[in-house]
Structure 1
Amino acid sequence: MLRLGIDVGGTNTDAVLIDGDRVLGAVKASTTADVTGGIVTALRDLRAATGFDPAAVHAVMIGTTHFINALVEGERLAPTAAIRFGLPATRALPPLVAWPERLVAAIGGHSYLCHGGHEYDGSPIADFDEAEFREVLDRAVAAGAGSFALSSVFSPVNAEFETRAAEIIAEQLPGAPVSLSHEIGRMGLLGRENATVVNAALRGLADQVATGLTRTVADAGISAPVFLSQNDGTLMDVDYARRYPVATFASGPTNSMRGAAFLSRLPSCAVVDIGGTTSDVGILQNGFPREASTDVQVAGVQTNFRMPDVLSVGIGGGSHVVHGASGIAVGPASVGYRLGQEALVFGGTRLTATDIAVAGKRAEVGDPALVAHLDKAVVDAALREIDDRLAEVVDRMRASAEPVPVVAVGGGSILVPDNLEGASSVVRPDHFAVANAIGAAIAQVGGEVDRVYSVVPQARDTVLDEARQEAVERAVAAGARPGSVEIVDIEEVPLAYLPGNATRIRVKAVGELSLGGHDA
């Protein structure tokens, strides 16, 4: 079964063609301002390299930075109304609290509170006041809001207020985009609400991007379905991406880690993904990235949706190397995508980490003669600085004192030494430079349950079975082949501060993508 994996990065657009477990071809093209131009070039080059028949492709998987970039830049965001059901509670911390001012301004600053919400056991805090909500909705529309983010206290336990409010919006404003917090975030009101507001602000852009990507693939003669990769390493179809663009935010590092597992055949390891500017380090557990256990800040906004646990350091292939009175400094400033013009080995004038790697005989790129004049003491000191900082990040990420295998991927992974302190081994697999696109191509379909249950001792197994079954059903509903779905993660957290043996249970299931008669 032929799959195309495409990863649209800030510098390069990578494309790979995979047949089962075999990588048939891989190419890199420069990312263009309109993004689709880079994809067109990558597909053309990949076809020239492999001669594949577009009609023979069964699925196209794309990882993109469109949406996270839009949030970081504060551009192309829709005017959004953040409406919360929680009064008379939650008044002290209204929606959009602690948001950066520039982002509040970018989405219009529309924040509203209504009566409602639930306790952890599903009992209402206050009744749904339809007249109050309709009045708030009228005010939001009059203020210019065009997209709506609805949140309610403990809505993952009982979503009736969010659902009823969405029905009223559909009645009064047919076609208006609505994002519901119980479908996006986990337990924890503010983080879930923030993620929902971000999602709502990106809905218009998501529609444009999804349409553009689908058209670009179709123009290349490929009639296969198009999927986008999510934060947790699983897939979503284009229609799902239109509704939940926030689910793509961490697809870049996640795809790299999944690709590293595929290429190295190491399901559990540390992954060091080095690009032109930064090194991202994460941990693989059973082939999937370890997820962050705490809320994650995205562009200064605290969120609690699924994100991989990744630690970044400002060292990449294009990092500036400066030799001063205080010693050697590597990064965080970088030449980025201008590496091919500015690095010494390519005829430029800027000393970069790539030049140091070539001078230290770790890599063979460009013209080594152009760095032959570098002082050996400077080269050795810069290499030690790189090694020490990478080893420190790996050490901070591993969960035990035992050395872990390290898989180095990304174009800048030439910086990683063959022996890294704290690593039991360093693996740099074939096709390491396009691991991100490979991760997209091999992605599976997932389903997750994250809910608070009342668990009495004699009913624990029954509750867990119920949660497992619901996670499997969600994976199948998302497009997984029924017989291939398996549970990959179960987490139980007793909530001692709540009565009634309350326990938060999270179950994750994944399965192979179902493509009708093409399932393999």
Structure 2
Amino acid sequence: MRIGIDVGGTNTDAVLLDGHSVLAETKTATSGDVTSGIINAIDQLRRARPFETTSIKAVMIGTTHFINAIIEADRLCPTAAVRLGLPATASLPPLVGWPDRLIKATSGTGYLCHGGHEFDGRLISPMDRSELMRVIEDIHARGIRTVAISSVFSPVNAELEQEVASLVLEQIPGVHVSMSHEIGRMGLLERENATIINACLRELAEQVCTGLAATLREAGFTAPLYLSQNDGTLMDVDYAREYPVATFASGPTNSMRGAAFLSGLETCAVVDVGGTTSDVGILQSGFPREATAEVSVGGVRTNFRMPDVLSVGIGGGSRVRVRDDDVTVGPDSVGYRLREEAYVFGGNTLTATDLAVASGHTEVGDPSLVAQLDPSHVRAGLDRIAAEVAEIVDRMRTSPTPLPVALVGGGSILLPDELEGAAKVLRPDHFAVANAIGAAIAQIGGEVDRIFAVAPGKRDEVLDTAKQEAVDRAVAAGAEPASVEIVDVEEVPIAYLPGNATRIRVRAVGDLALRDL
């Protein structure tokens, strides 16, 4: 058996799974310290379906803890950004374009040094050790505790980043180091930004991961702990300490993976309706379609793996306004105060949940408190919700062929059983906790994304090399070797570079290798 937990801003959802069977599910309020909310969720699972802690083979958790810290510009540690690229790249220094609030929250300091590579691995300029020593001394004097190292085309050749990291660790014992070739993709500024974000979260990640692991141990669990990644796969808790940015989109990703599991659909649109927003994404081969362009996180452009998701301000707590028979829904929401402010709970705010109850779609709170609502206003509000969600689904399609739509999340009760433009609409069993199920059934992945020089007649050989490297990375991350398969291959010839340069991205995925306890 395994436990899946998804920690959202309002609710913490948890499920107990035995193979593909959902044995128990629960939804509790998220606590300020996160860990006590998780323990409450596990206690409720045990009451719903008693189990021994020794029978649990793994615990999987998805959390928004780290991305919230960036959005709120809070709990971030002082960070230095060291870039190897001179004499090139000087016109756009590290932290260029960052919001002032984040620069202030991280005490952000940028340094430019000689180094970097061309796309084919040739040096731009050799590393200057004396220059780096002066930079390291300044970092140490400022009391900076974490360092982000980036180098031009480091995904092709990471030697300089690794050499500088060793030098920093040698001179400043105990400092945290993040290297861009391990975090971002091609694109220097976006990869560097992703690395700086990762670096400023390292101390928080250490606290959160240590707290989660200790909490589970104190509760009697000996099973390994995993955290959900942006691409729908898992990482162990030690990896999460090093790479907290990998968790940023775990919420919508878990919901989409859970939708695939519950609906049996491998290719479809997924609408996850929460208390404040509805997130719409596309499943391809059972995994979320990834964003192809840079992704903005807290106002900073990055290029690490993130799902392609569009959001609309419609959820169970969305405020409903009626003016001269014109009904509007959202985008503002009562959020976590739904059980205090909605009509059906005795409050004074008309919400989308009140419309769903008044229409007979669901039974929540006291239906008699919305009996006086004008049926035409109720119908108009629900029609508005369905139309806006259908429009977002239509915008996410890349072909004229209608897609089936899977509805998940507790707020999906707002949506009808048919949506304009959808091939069909499914609301699977356990839809309200699809996010926790997505965490519980997640697999282990490995990815290669870099530029190769493809000689004439060598394309297949280069592809095979990239595929094997992706498989090896998945196995090293904890996947069962026999279960690993290639789920995505992308080739993009780069015409502006010489030598038949081609960007190749390969992703491999396999089942988690569960050890006997």
Q: One fold, TM greater than 0.5? A: yes
1:340 corresponds to which letter in structure 2?
A: R
- 1:376 matched to which residue of 2? 375
TM alignment of 1:107-186, pairs within 5 A: 107-186=106-185
For residues 295 and 457 of structure 1, what CA distance do their matches in structure 2 show? Answer: 31
Q: Is the 8 A contact 1:277 1:315 kept in 2?
A: yes
- 1:235 matched to which residue of 2? 234
TM alignment of 1:205-224, pairs within 5 A: 205-224=204-223
- 1:460 matched to which residue of 2? 459
Deviation digits for residues 284-325 of structure 1 (CA, Å, limit 9, x no counterpart) = 001100000000001101000000000000000000001125
- TM-score, structure 2 as length reference: 0.99
SS at structure 1 position matched to 2:205: helix
Residue 503 in 1 paired to residue 489 in 2? no
Q: Which moved more, 1:80-89 or 1:333-342?
A: 333-342
SS at structure 2 position matched to 1:42: helix
Residue 263 in 1 paired to residue 230 in 2? no
For residues 400 and 366 of structure 1, what CA distance do their matches in structure 2 show? Answer: 42
Residue 101 in 1 paired to residue 110 in 2? no
RMSD of aligned Cα (Å): 1.0
Q: CA deviation at 1:428?
A: 0.6
For residues 82 and 387 of structure 1, what CA distance do their matches in structure 2 show? Answer: 46
- 1:249 matched to which residue of 2? 248
- 1:327 matched to which residue of 2? 326
For residues 144 and 516 of structure 1, what CA distance do their matches in structure 2 show? Answer: 42
Task: From the superposition, tell whether residues 352 and 118 of structure 1 become closer, same or farther in structure 2 (CA, over 3 Å).
Answer: same
Q: CA deviation at 1:398?
A: 1.2
Q: Which moved more, 1:167-176 or 1:300-309?
A: 167-176
For residues 273 and 456 of structure 2, what CA distance do their matches in structure 1 show? Answer: 47
SS at structure 2 position matched to 1:123: coil
For residues 312 and 326 of structure 1, what CA distance do their matches in structure 2 show? Answer: 27
SS at structure 2 position matched to 1:453: strand
Q: Which moved more, 1:248-257 or 1:376-385?
A: 376-385
Q: Is the 8 A contact 1:6 1:61 kept in 2?
A: yes
Q: CA deviation at 1:515?
A: 1.8
Q: CA deviation at 1:361?
A: 2.3
For residues 317 and 23 of structure 1, what CA distance do their matches in structure 2 show? Answer: 25
Deviation digits for residues 369-425 of structure 1 (CA, Å, limit 9, x no counterpart) = 211111122112111210110000000011111111110000100011111001111
Q: CA deviation at 1:457?
A: 3.1
Q: Is the 8 A contact 1:110 1:145 kept in 2?
A: no
For residues 375 and 65 of structure 2, what CA distance do their matches in structure 1 show? Answer: 42
- 1:430 matched to which residue of 2? 429
For residues 460 and 151 of structure 2, what CA distance do their matches in structure 1 show? Answer: 30
Structure 1 gap ranges (5+): none
Deviation digits for residues 44-100 of structure 1 (CA, Å, limit 9, x no counterpart) = 111011001111000000001110011111111010000100011001110000000
SS at structure 2 position matched to 1:424: coil
- 1:79 matched to which residue of 2? 78
- 2:354 matched to which residue of 1? 355
Deviation digits for residues 208-253 of structure 1 (CA, Å, limit 9, x no counterpart) = 0001100111121111000001000000001000000010000000
Q: Is the 8 A contact 2:325 2:377 kept in 1?
A: no
TM alignment of 1:328-347, pairs within 5 A: 328-347=327-346
2:276 corresponds to which letter in structure 1?
A: T
Q: CA deviation at 1:362?
A: 2.2
- TM-score, structure 1 as length reference: 0.98
1:52 corresponds to which letter in structure 2?
A: F
TM alignment of 1:276-291, pairs within 5 A: 276-291=275-290
Q: CA deviation at 1:327?
A: 2.2
- 1:367 matched to which residue of 2? 366
SS at structure 2 position matched to 1:119: coil
SS at structure 2 position matched to 1:297: strand
SS at structure 1 position matched to 2:424: strand
For residues 483 and 278 of structure 2, what CA distance do their matches in structure 1 show? Answer: 34
- 2:199 matched to which residue of 1? 200
Q: Is the 8 A contact 1:149 1:179 kept in 2?
A: yes
1:463 corresponds to which letter in structure 2?
A: V
Q: Is the 8 A contact 2:290 2:307 kept in 1?
A: yes
TM alignment of 1:441-460, pairs within 5 A: 441-460=440-459
Q: Which moved more, 1:230-239 or 1:374-383?
A: 374-383
For residues 359 and 330 of structure 2, what CA distance do their matches in structure 1 show? Answer: 18
- 1:491 matched to which residue of 2? 490
Q: CA deviation at 1:367?
A: 2.0
Q: CA deviation at 1:360?
A: 2.0
1:16 corresponds to which letter in structure 2?
A: V
1:467 corresponds to which letter in structure 2?
A: A
Q: Is the 8 A contact 2:344 2:365 kept in 1?
A: yes
For residues 403 and 346 of structure 1, what CA distance do their matches in structure 2 show? Answer: 38
Deviation digits for residues 488-509 of structure 1 (CA, Å, limit 9, x no counterpart) = 0000000011111100000000
Q: Is the 8 A contact 1:43 1:220 kept in 2?
A: no
Deviation digits for residues 242-296 of structure 1 (CA, Å, limit 9, x no counterpart) = 0000100000000000000001111111000000000000000011000000000
Q: CA deviation at 1:326?
A: 8.4
Q: CA deviation at 1:143?
A: 2.2
2:312 corresponds to which letter in structure 1?
A: V
1:57 corresponds to which letter in structure 2?
A: I
TM alignment of 1:45-60, pairs within 5 A: 45-60=44-59
- 1:12 matched to which residue of 2? 11
Q: CA deviation at 1:166?
A: 0.6
Q: CA deviation at 1:358?
A: 1.6
Q: CA deviation at 1:30?
A: 0.7
2:466 corresponds to which letter in structure 1?
A: A
1:510 corresponds to which letter in structure 2?
A: V
Between the two proteins, what is the percent identity of the paired residues? 67
Q: CA deviation at 1:517?
A: 4.1
TM alignment of 1:302-313, pairs within 5 A: 302-313=301-312
Deviation digits for residues 412-471 of structure 1 (CA, Å, limit 9, x no counterpart) = 000111110011111111111100000000010000000100112300000000000000
Deviation digits for residues 117-145 of structure 1 (CA, Å, limit 9, x no counterpart) = 01100001000111101111111222231
1:472 corresponds to which letter in structure 2?
A: V
Q: CA deviation at 1:363?
A: 2.0
Q: Is the 8 A contact 1:79 1:107 kept in 2?
A: yes
For residues 457 and 362 of structure 1, what CA distance do their matches in structure 2 show? Answer: 62
